[in-house]
Structure 1
């Protein structure tokens, strides 16, 4: 049985659910935080076709539980 259930909302009607042990959930959180930190410290690309410096996907956090 999993210690933590991690839910990622993909669209309004779908989601990814990961049932992880506490250790796995901590590793996942650390990996995500590392990638976010790395992305925040990188310089944005110079110029783009649509005038914005970043055209990446939007992320909407979904509900979560620690059951």
Structure 2
């Protein structure tokens, strides 16, 4: 399940090398852009198998809401 707590734990996990040296605000800014529906649709949709797009899009929307809530 995608929960607020799991998204928060993942985004700020100390083993994520891409966040080293970044502030919480910087991390959230990057993640808001990454999970924005327009960007997600453009970059991820072509990589998703037929029949899985709606579920994937729904999950991404949930992550986007949790990231926004973290701000």
Larger helix share, 1 or 2: 2
Greater Rg by CA:
1
Task: Report the TM-score range of the alignment, normalised by the length of the smaller protein.
Answer: 0.3 to 0.5
TM-score norm. by structure 1 comes to: 0.36
Structure with more relative contact order (C-alpha pairs < 8 Å, separation 6 or more): 2
